[in-house]
Amino acid sequence: MTISPAYAEYLRRMPKVDLHVHLTGTVRPETFAEIIEREGVELPEPPLEVFAKINSRAKDLSIYRDAVLPVPTGPGDDEPEPSYSLFQVFEWLTAAITTPADYERIAYEACEDAATLSNVRHVEYFFEPAPWAGFGYAAAIDACIAGLKAGERDFGLSARLAIGIDRSQSGEAALERVRAVVENPRDYVIGIGLDNLETVGPPEQFIEAYQLAKEHGLRRTAHSSEHSPSAQNTITCLDDLACDRIDHGYFVLQDEAVIERCRDEQVPFTCIFTTSRRAWRPWRRASVREMVARGLKVTIASDDPGMFPTTLAQEYLIAAQEVGFDRKTMRELCLNGVDACWLEEDEKAALRAEFVGALDALEAELFADETAGEHA
């Protein structure tokens, strides 16, 4: 639908929180090309062409035949040939990261893009330090934190980290990763997250790793009900992994009891409209529309904005123009992000007050005539 220029400006200037964004997935095309070429990594096409053709495809569409909202079975309108899966491009990039300075640069550029392109005021990045980088977890995390601190200083946002656990690996590998986190504590590392495809690693494999994280005060989230067409994984994440929030969650719509529970408990869901499965983008948008209509606590995120590509501001615009959310709903989704973030309670309260003040001021500036009419 067409929205007014004032509404578009409101969306652009809204202060925002991004709680679901993979640090490696923020990499700029030019940075990707420079790192790849420096290390001589052989790609099937030049780096910038590969980057422009990221498009993951589902291997088995038959598992989605009973989806409440029909899942697309054909290609999308803009699917490139050849296509390169998001995970393959991740693998090429992380194989080329041979110095901690690469992580510092990516983290700094991520903060710059978040703040300048989307007015992000707080962000929590997933960081998946590649074990093959050769310089170890501590050096990788310290470089990343250095980049975040420089970004905070230069662009006026706050940034924290959740260490990503690759569910395609074993439960023991996940436990080792959490041990590395707790044995190398850093103030900026505040949680863990389970990522990659649910179809290759159901959440119950990672209970022990999540128990260790909880024992050491780390917050917890997990990608759930995103690629597996079942709401049950979300229940497992809540009950067995003790997750504080759920990333994605679209297939909770498969089960009325799960919808009711998540609505009653106000479980936060971090949702993204733009995905590397380009054919699924309309389905994603329809799913989020229904989740909000059913009263679930949704906040909008950007996921892998460098690689899709998108920005959080663009995701907000999609929410209004294509999904049809009105200004009241967008304000609610924005503040849901503050409520769901992992800052300390006093920091969260201060951030919420800052957001409410900024949103009130924006509405008074951009919609003065409507406000006047309401009080006439």
Q: Each residue of 159-168: pLDDT tens digit?
A: 999 999 999 9
Q: What is the pLDDT of residue 118?
A: 98
Instruction: Please determine, for residue 354, whether its predicted confidence score (pLDDT) is greater than 70.
Output: yes
Would strands 245-248 and 219-224 be described as parallel, antiparallel, or unpaired?
A: parallel
pLDDT confidence band for 370 (50 / 70 / 90) = confident
Rounded mean pLDDT, 332-348: 98
Q: Region 19-41: what's the mean pLDDT?
A: 97
State the chain's mean pLDDT as an integer: 95
Does the structure show a pLDDT above 60 at 157? yes
pLDDT surpasses 60 at 368: yes
Q: Provide DSSP, 260-271.
A: HHHHHHT-EEEE
Cα separations in angstroms, 300 against 162, 360, 366: 17, 20, 22
- Average pLDDT on 332-361 reads 98
Q: Please enumerate in sequence order all residues whose Cβ is within 8 A of that of 279, keeping only pairs 6 or more positions apart, or say none.
A: 57, 72, 74, 75, 76, 79
Note the pLDDT of residue 291.
Answer: 98
Query: Which carries the bigger pLDDT value, residue 214 or residue 200?
Result: 214
Determine how many CB atoms are found less than 10 A away from the CB of residue 262.
Answer: 25
Write the pLDDT tens digit of every residue in 269-279: 999 999 999 99
pLDDT at 131: 61
Amino acid 133: pLDDT: 61
- Rounded mean pLDDT of 218-233? 97
| Pair 334, 354: CB distance under 8 Å | no
Question: Please, what are the domains in the chain?
Answer: 5-363 (3.20.20.140)
How far apart CA 269 and CA 247 sit, in angstroms, is 6
The confidence score (pLDDT) of residue 375 equals 32
pLDDT value at 374 more than 60: no
